[in-house]
Structure 1
Amino acid sequence: MVESVNKCILEGIRPRLEQHKAKWADKLNNVLWAYRTTSRTATGETPYHLAFGTESVIPVEIGVPSFRVTHFDEGRNGQLLRENLDLLAEVREEARLRTLVYKKAGLTGFETRFGKLAPNWEGPYTVAEVPHPGAYVLQDAKGKRVPRV
Structure 2
Amino acid sequence: MVVITDNGTPFANQRIHDFCGEHQINLKYASVWHPHTNGQAEAANKNILNILKKCLDGARTHWPEELPGALWAYNTAPSEDTQESPFSLSFGMDVVIPIELEHLSPRVEAAASFEPEALQTWVDENDDSRRVNLDLLEQKRELAALKRLEHKRRVERYYNRKVSPRTLNQGDLVLRRRLLAGSNLGVPKVEPNWEGPYIVREVAGPNAYYLMTSEGAQIPRSWSGDDLKRFYA
Shift of 1:10: 1.1
Residue 77 of structure 1, aligned match among 107, 115, 126: 126
SS in 1 for 2:83: coil
Residue 73 of structure 2, aligned match among 34, 43, 48: 34
Relative to its length, the structure with more helix (as a share) is 1
Matching of residue 16 in structure 1 with residue 65 in structure 2: no
Structure 1 residues 97 and 82: alpha-carbon distance in aligned structure 2, compared to 1, 3 A threshold: same
Percent identical residues: 33
Matching of residue 103 in structure 1 with residue 152 in structure 2: yes
Q: Distance in 2 between matches of 1:11 and 1:116?
A: 30
Shift of 1:116: 7.0
Deviation by residue 1:61-98 (Cα, 9 ceiling, x = unmatched): 11222222122332323222211110101100110111
Deviation by residue 1:24-49 (Cα, 9 ceiling, x = unmatched): 22211111111111111111101100
For normalisation by structure 2, the TM-score amounts to: 0.46
Structure 1 residues 21 and 99: alpha-carbon distance in aligned structure 2, compared to 1, 3 A threshold: closer
Matching of residue 25 in structure 1 with residue 74 in structure 2: no
User: Which letter maps to 2:110?
Assistant: H
SS in 1 for 2:64: helix
Q: How does 1:96-135 map to 2 (within 5 A)?
A: 96-114=145-163
Deviates more, 1:50-59 or 1:10-19: 10-19
| Consecutive unaligned residues in structure 2, runs of 5 or more | 1-39, 112-121, 168-233
Matched with 1:86 is: 135
Matched with 1:60 is: 99
Q: Distance in 2 between matches of 1:116 and 1:58?
A: 46
| Consecutive unaligned residues in structure 1, runs of 5 or more | 119-149
User: Which letter maps to 2:49?
Assistant: L
Relative to its length, the structure with more strand (as a share) is 2
Q: Distance in 2 between matches of 1:99 and 1:107?
A: 12
Q: Distance in 2 between matches of 1:18 and 1:113?
A: 35
Shift of 1:101: 1.2
* Alignment RMSD (CA, Å): 2.2
Q: Distance in 1 between matches of 2:91 and 2:60?
A: 33
